[in-house]
Amino acid sequence: MQSPVYKRVVLKVSGESLSGNNGYGIDSAMISSIAEQVKEVVEMNVEVAIVCGGGNIWRGIAGSEKGIDRATADYMGMLATVMNSLALQDALEQIEVPTRVQTSIAMQQIAEPYIRRRAIRHLEKGRVVIFAAGTGNPFFSTDTTAALRAAEIEAEVILMAKNKVDGVYSADPFKDASAEKYETLTYMEVLNRNLGVMDSTASSLCMDNNIPLVVFNITEKGNIKRVVLGEKIGTIVMKESVG
């Protein structure tokens, strides 16, 4: 039996991934599939933390473009990530995966506050920890949250789950048939080529803390396990190029 190449990971799940083919809201079949994939790696004794996006419900930038104060719109987006996190927690616990949601904004009736040492203790006990409500501050994305939490809990890698996209391309593969898929990239290449893998704040944070990033398609069942086992799927982004 293959052994995982990572002991502790942060899984970044976009809001779009949770909506499945609907484009909006939470798709129960998709969230169940993600939960089953997470269970596979937890059973391999891999410690899993998750950061959920909220774009399937609300986007702060889109709200601000409609005239809503940007900070207010971002706080609304943080609440959307909490909804997604609770839904994923429920899906995980229905298949007997112990899970804790920790929020950056206090809401003690439904989740724990984010406390780094407590989060690490949960992970050490085999529980999945879902980090909700972003960083707790407006003007920061959930990509930045994933980078920040990965650095704080000393995760070995960020697994960036994409909806129907199997890596990083030179252009949108759905619009440009000549788009080239990259197997490896450096964070400087991501920033210089403006590839849009993560926002610049998140990319810089990962680069400065030497946290690798694997971008892969989560809609294909078993892909989280494949990444954790070290299979060459998707695109890996590192501080420095190999060789």
For residue 71, give the amino acid letter.
Answer: A
108 token code pair: 């003690």
Q: Domain 8-238 sits in which CATH superfamily?
A: Acetylglutamate kinase-like (3.40.1160.10)
Q: Which residues does the annotation place in the binding site?
A: 12-15, 54-55, 59, 74, 135-142, 163, 169, 172
Work out the number of other CB atoms within 10 angstroms of the CB of residue 173: 16
CB 201 within 8 A of CB 144: yes
* pLDDT surpasses 80 at 191: yes
Q: Which residues does the annotation place in the binding site for ATP?
A: 12-15, 55, 59, 163, 169, 172
Q: Which residues does the annotation place in the binding site for UMP?
A: 54, 74, 135-142
pLDDT 10s digits, 77-114:
999 999 999 999 999 999 999 999 999 999 999 999 99
Provide the whole-model pTM: 0.94
Name the DSSP letter for residue 26.
-
pLDDT 10s digits, 195-221:
989 999 999 999 999 999 999 999 999
- Residues in the chain, total: 243
